[in-house]
Amino acid sequence: MVYSLLQERGLGDYYLLREKGRMLRKNGPAPAPSLSSDMQSHLDDPEFLELYATAEGQVRSMQFYLEGVHCTACVWLAEKTAEWVEGVISIRLDLGHSLATVKIGPNGSFSRVAREFARLGYRPHPVRQDEAWVRQARENRSALIRMAVSAAGAGNIMLLAVAVYAGAEGSFARHFEWISFALCLPVATYGAWPFYRSAWIALRSRQLSIDIPIALGMIVGFGASIVSLFFRSKHVYFDTVSALIFLLLASRYLLRKTQQEAMHASRLIHFLTPSLVRKKIQEGESVVYQEVKAEQIRSGDEVLVLAGECIPVDGIVRDGNSSLNIALMTGESRHERVGAGSLVFAGTMNHQAPIKIEATAEVSATRLARILSSVEEQISRKAPIVAFTDSIAKKFVLVSLGLVGVAFLIGWSVSPDEAVSRALAMAIVACPCAFAFATPLAMSVAMGRSAKNGVLIKGADVLEKLAHVDQVVLDKTGTLTAGEFEVQSWIHDSDAPEAARAVYALESRSMHPIAKAMVVYLRAIVTDEQSVEIGDFEEKIGRGVSGSLFGHRYEIRSWGESSGSSIEGSTIAVIRDGKIVARAVLGDRLRDDAVQAVDRLRAMGLRIGILSGDGRSAVQRVARQLGVLPRDAISGASPEAKSALVKPLPRALMVGDGANDAIALASAYVSVAVHGGLEISMRSADVYHCVPGILPVAQLIELARETMKVIHRNFAFSLVYNAIGTWAALTGRVDPLFAAVLMPASALTVFFSSIAGTRRLRHAFETEERR
Amino acid sequence: MSTIYLMLPIALLLGGGFVAAFIRAASQGQYDDLETPAHRMLLEDEKMSISTTQRGQK
């Protein structure tokens, strides 16, 4: 569909560009657009615009988070959209954040743009313009300007200082010192302002922060230099102070940027729009279905659910026949037929045809909502290791302030000048900056790295938990298997050679999942795809298809004891004029990467278990294929039973379908959703995969483990540095300028250590591509 | 050596000019997105004629 759209718009270049883009950035494939993404008309709702759009005269703009943009071709395609959608002034894409800013004129509409994005395969999520977001952008700019002013000041002061160190004397030295003072003034006031402010806030609330010794060092250094300047003393520290300020600002800026990049992905959950449903509204004679927020549905309202959509509320079917995937309720990969009068539950998936449902409960009262509301508050948890280092860093600050006093006293015994010099060196060197940044930085980098690979991690604590995991519980349907029918065998009688062609022709007309699987399988057998005349074609929901062709009456229907509703081991019979001439056995297809992923997880020393609602034979077959012990493969478990089984496991990672296994995912120690919608997955699981397959689970655990290693290495770096620096400052072996250069150097060491990670961390997401 | 009293102010003025230019660029948001422009420069600037004519036919 996307291809034809591209051709129609004359954008065939996209494919050429995409190849180029692939070479620039290796990345996973874009996720397939969902069927429900056509629902965009709410974007033009004035109430919605009020919250999400900003207006400047006639021009309105809105930001969209686009799922799946990852390369040059995406930039081109997304921005070119402006040229063929009416009323759009411009579209700018920020690739790093996957944010598209859309500007439209008076005759444009955001829903048209959003629909176009969705058709291109980038699922759009409108982003709310919240205060924090605007403030962050403003602060980034001002941090950059402070850094530039400090850099210019520090650089020029350094040039003048070198002349003095080299032996400039008399009036030259005097003038240079005064110029240094003039250059240092904006640096020490405007540039260092954030440190003063943060230290003051900490002091006022009687808290300890690492900015206190830093601000103290700056004030002491700058103040002592001014005093020296007026009293013609030797010791002027303008070079030290300005270099310190610039280097600290630079390292803070790098930290900020890295953390913001990583935070972005996890912030996404707050941006997500409420899910929408089509509610029936009577307008005089005509009946329209209007999109409303799911929360507005009341008992008795009628809603329309299209094929491929999730049922939003518990209710009774009023009109339409379809089959539902009720795995959420039963845990089994079964398709249940529904018609007028059937009871349906929220969270089940409508597979075949549109149905109309009368709601019997509000959305918040459904079983699914009750499950999810209990896990909402987990989002902003702090990782234990972060809390631990926070408290250590505070003690460090206290110790370093004490050490500054000690250094001053020791220096005083030599001379007052020496006392200031040593205290200054100590204040600079003893600050536990690197220690305080070691953990959050490494975690942010890991989260950013995984987000770029299509794996969204909800919080820093998740990474730490993942590193401690010792067993993995995998759901079968939709996780290990693709959740799709696959023809496992096909036998036809020798006197019916045309059966394959007949079945192919008949099943091509059906949209049922079994029919699709049959078509895929038979395409290899049926070589000539000429169209066949079919007489009185008939499709009965849940019974099969029939039609007249090749002079015979053909009927294709489910056969045998399993009555065709379960994916596993369904047998399909082909009946020609009342006699069976062919049979096909269907099963659930194992994912391509399942065996490899399970092998890798096992190689990492993890115990593997399978948990499924399906029948014993099907689960054991998959377990055999994956080499999982029969006793570790549990079958016939309902969602509640799965949850009960997973909950007591102390360090278990649950991997499942975000929609169907929501309950089990929410109750597990840590969980990964590999499938299902973004919204529901982010609510029930700790990690969500935008990319298909389960190999990323193994990569994720590796990433978490390596990240913990990096954190420990960062600790070692910063502690060794602080110990040596403190000793040297106490004994007067470092002068303040040297300390000012060393101190940000330790923070930078930690920064590069975190960025570089370990060799295995760097290749965590790459190795499989190369194989 | 007295030339330094001429050179130094000139050097500082030049430096100040560049700082001012940077501040202006940063406040306009030129450094907000550092990734996309690198990709965008690979793209063609010209408008697509095909798509506009197609739109006219509809």
Query: What is residue A196's predicted lDDT score, i.e. its pLDDT?
Result: 93
Least CB-CB distance to B51: which of A9, A145, A179? Answer: A9
C-beta separation of A675 from A694 below 8 A: no
With contacts defined as CB-CB under 8 Å, which chain B residues touch A96? 33-36
With contacts defined as CB-CB under 8 Å, which chain A residues touch B55? 84, 86
Best to test chain A binding among B43, B45, B47 (most A CBs inside 10 Å): B43
With contacts defined as CB-CB under 8 Å, which chain B residues touch A182? none
- Per-residue pLDDT tens digits for A190-219: 999 999 998 898 888 888 777 888 888 889
Q: How far is A330 from A325, CA to CA, in rounded Å?
A: 10
ipTM of the complex: 0.78
Best to test chain A binding among B14, B31, B36 (most A CBs inside 10 Å): B36
Query: What is residue A23's predicted lDDT score, i.e. its pLDDT?
Result: 42
- Rounded mean pLDDT of A541-556? 77
Q: How far is A632 from A114, CA to CA, in rounded Å?
A: 46
Distances from the Cα of A756 to the Cαs of A198, A445, A707, A752, in angstroms? 30, 9, 11, 6
Contact B43 A140 (CB under 8 A): no
- Per-residue pLDDT tens digits for A19-70: 544 443 333 333 333 434 445 666 777 767 776 788 888 888 888 878 777 7
Query: What is residue B24's predicted lDDT score, i.e. its pLDDT?
Result: 94
Least CB-CB distance to A76: which of B43, B50, B54? Answer: B43
Kindly give, in sequence order, each residue whose CB lies less than 8 Å from that of residue A258, ignoring residues fewer than 6 positions away.
A441, A444, A445, A448, A751, A754, A755
Looking at A85-94, A461-470, A588-597, which range is the least confident one? A588-597
Inform me whether the C-beta atom of residue A8 falls under 8 Å from chain B C-beta atoms: yes
Closest to A434 (Cα-Cα) out of A255, A261, A216, A259: A255
The three-class DSSP label of residue A336 is: strand
Share of chain A above pLDDT 70, in %: 78
Q: Is the pLDDT of residue A147 over 90?
A: yes
Tell me which chain A residue has its CA closest to the CA of residue B30.
A141
Q: pLDDT averaged over chain A?
A: 76
Query: What is residue A110's predicted lDDT score, i.e. its pLDDT?
Result: 85
Inform me whether the C-beta atom of residue B19 falls under 8 Å from chain A C-beta atoms: yes
- Rounded mean pLDDT of A676-680? 59
Query: What is residue A455's predicted lDDT score, i.e. its pLDDT?
Result: 78
Most confident of A529-533, A680-684, B39-43: B39-43
Query: What is residue A682's predicted lDDT score, i.e. its pLDDT?
Result: 64
CA distance A159 to chain B (A): 11
Most confident of A36-50, A146-160, A428-442, B24-38: A146-160
Token digits for A565?
């509703």
Kindly give, in sequence order, each residue whose CB lies less than 8 Å from that of residue A35, ignoring residues fewer than 6 positions away.
A306, A307, A308, A309
Inform me whether the C-beta atom of residue A179 falls under 8 Å from chain B C-beta atoms: yes
Higher pLDDT, A441 or A105: A105
With contacts defined as CB-CB under 8 Å, which chain B residues touch A21? 39
- Per-residue pLDDT tens digits for A474-518: 887 777 877 667 777 777 776 666 777 777 777 777 767 777 777
Query: What is residue A190's predicted lDDT score, i.e. its pLDDT?
Result: 94
Query: What is residue B53's predicted lDDT score, i.e. its pLDDT?
Result: 41
Query: What is residue A11's predicted lDDT score, i.e. its pLDDT?
Result: 57
- Rounded mean pLDDT of A579-588? 77
pLDDT confidence band for B19 (50 / 70 / 90): very high
Best to test chain B binding among A14, A27, A81, A94 (most B CBs inside 10 Å): A94
Q: Is the pLDDT of residue A564 over 70?
A: no
pLDDT confidence band for A560 (50 / 70 / 90): low
Query: What is residue B30's predicted lDDT score, i.e. its pLDDT?
Result: 85
Higher pLDDT, A586 or A767: A586
Q: How far is A646 from A667, CA to CA, in rounded Å?
A: 7
